[in-house]
Chains A and B, each alone.
Chain A
Amino acid sequence: MQTFLSRCMWALSLLALQVLVFSHLHLWGVAVPLVFVYLLLMFPKDTARWQVIAWGFVMGLAVDVFSNTPGVAAGAMTLTGLMQPVLLGLMLPKDTVEAVTPSFRLMGTWTYIRYALLLVLFHHIAFFSLEFFSFFHWEYWLTELWGSWLLSVLVIVVLECLRGSK
C-alpha cells in the first residue's frame, strides 16, 4: 500500500527529475521524455477515481508552473487520470485481488510494459495536442509524439526496475 506521504515524495522527485533533467534533454531536436506521467501509472487498482484525477491535475499544474505552459500538462494529466483505472482494469485479469499496485512483479514484465506504452501514449497525444492547440505542423507533431513516447516509456521502465529492486 502506498501512503499519501510516499506519494508526495514520488510527486516531488518526479517533478525535480522532469524540470531539472529531462526537460533539458531535447534529443535530435524532437524527443523530450515526459516522466511525470509515471506518478499516475503507480496508482493501485480500486483507488477512488476522483483521487487519481486530482493527483494528475496537481502534478500537471506543478510541471506547468516550471515550464511556462499553463494548462497543458494539467489538462493532459487530468485526462490521463480519468483513463488510468479503465486501462489498468483491462490489463489485469478479472479475478485479481483488490488494491494491486501495478508493477513488474505483480503484472509480469510484458503486461506492465504494454500498460505503460498505452497509458503514456494516451497522455502524450493529449499533451502535444494541447501544446500545439491553435496551430498545427502535422509532421512535427507526429515526430515529436513518437520520439517522446518511446523515450518516456524507456525512462519509466528504468525507474520501475529501480523501484522493484529496492
Chain B
Amino acid sequence: MFTFFENLSKYGYWFVFICLEAISLWLLVRFNDYQGSVYLTSANVVAGRVMEWETGVISYLTLGDRNRELTRRNAMLEQRVSMLQRLLEEARHDSTYAERRQAGLLEEYELIDARVVSNSVRLKDNYLTINKGEADGVRPEMGVVCGTGLVGIVYQTSAHYALVMPVLNAKSSISCRLRKSGYFGYLSWDGGSPLYAYLDDIPRHARFKVGDAVETSGHSAVFPAGIFVGVVDHIYNSDDGMAYRLKIHLGTDFSRLDNVCVIATPNYEEIRKLEERIENNKISGR
C-alpha cells in the first residue's frame, strides 16, 4: 500500500499531463462543432475588450494610410458614377422597371457596420472577431462584406461580439459566379497566400478568360447576388478533368481588414423555414 502511494506521488504528474493534453486535443478537434466554445475565443468579453482597445490604438496610428486609400477609392467611384450616369442616360428608355427592381432588392437588406477587433491570415482555419453581436442584431450565417468585396460568414455570436469565418478558412465554401457568363462554382481556400482563393466546379463548356470578374451568385440567403469577390488569375483543370478550377485574386486584402458590414436579411427566418420544409419533404418522400 505504501509503495502504491509512493508511486502515485512520484508518477502522478503523468496523470496530470495526460488529462491536460487530452483537454487540449479535445478543444482542438471539437472547437468547430461545439457551440459553447465561442467563450474560448476572442469573442468573449474580456478578450474582446482588450483586442478592441488594441485595434483602436493601431487604427489611430494607420489613419494616414487609410485616408489615402479612401481618397483613392472615392475618386475611382466618382469616376465610375459619372460613367454609369452617362450610360444610363443613353439607355434611358425602358430602364425605369430595372431601376425600381434594383432599389427594391437592396432595400430588403439592412447593413450593420462593424469593426474587426482581431484577425489572422496565417493559419489554416482563420477567424476574425467583430465588435457587433446579438445585441446589435448579428446572427450566425449572416454575410459579411467590406468596401473591397466579400469577407465571409458570421459563424458564432456572443452578446456584443461575433466570430466570422472569412474566405480564408479551409472550411469556408461560398457559391460564386463569373460576372459575364453567370457560370457558378464554389469558392474555397486551402491555405498558403492570403491573396488567392480557388473557384471549383466551373463546367468545361464555360467560356472566360484571365482577368474576368467573379461575384457572389445569390444562390443562398446569406449574400445578395453581385457582390464583388475577385478576378480570375489563373485557369487550372480540376483533378478529375471534368471541370475547371480557377485561381482567384481576391479583391479584399484580409491582412489589413478594418471596417466591415454585416448583411442582415429580415426575411432570413422565412427563407430558412422554407428550406427546412423542403429538406423534410425530401426525407419523408423517400
Chain A: residues with CB nearer than 8 A to chain B? Answer: 19-20, 26, 29, 32, 48-50, 53-54, 56-57, 60-61, 64-72, 74-75, 78-79, 81-82, 130-135, 137, 140
Contact = CB atoms under 8 A, between A and B. Distances in A.
A131 B42 contact: no
A54 B47 contact: no
B242 interface: no
B1 interface: no
B24 A60 contact: yes
Contacts of B124: 131-135
18 contacts: A19-B51, A53-B13, A57-B20, A60-B24, A64-B27, A64-B40, A66-B42, A66-B50, A66-B118, A68-B118, A68-B163, A70-B40, A71-B28, A74-B20, A75-B28, A78-B17, A135-B124, A137-B192
A135 B170 contact: yes
A65 B13 contact: no
A71 B24 contact: yes
Given A66-B51, A71-B24, A53 B118 contact: no
Contacts of A72: 24, 28
A163 to B, nearest CB: 25
A146 to B, nearest CB: 15
Interface string B109-146: 00000000010101110010100000000000000000
B182 interface: no
A66 B27 CA distance: 14
Contacts of B28: 70-72, 75, 130, 133
Nearest to A52: B13
A40 to B, nearest CB: 13
Contacts of A54: 16, 20
A65 to B, nearest CB: 5
A64 B50 CA distance: 14
A20 B54 CA distance: 7
B191 A137 contact: yes
A65 B16 contact: no
Contacts of B122: 26, 29, 32
Nearest to B126: A68
B41 interface: yes
A67 B120 contact: yes
B120 to A, nearest CB: 7
B42 A79 contact: no
B13 A49 contact: yes
A48 B13 contact: yes
B42 A65 contact: yes
Interface string B148-172: 0000000000000001000000100
Interface in B1-45: 12-13, 16-17, 20-21, 23-29, 31, 37, 40-42, 44
Interface in B179-230: 190-192
Given A70-B28, A74-B20, 9 more contacts: A19-B50, A61-B24, A71-B23, A71-B24, A71-B27, A71-B28, A74-B23, A82-B17, A134-B124
A69 B32 CA distance: 11
Contacts of A48: 13
A75 B19 CA distance: 11
Given A20-B54, A50-B16, A54-B16, A67 B24 contact: no
A57 B31 CA distance: 17
B83 to A, nearest CB: 37
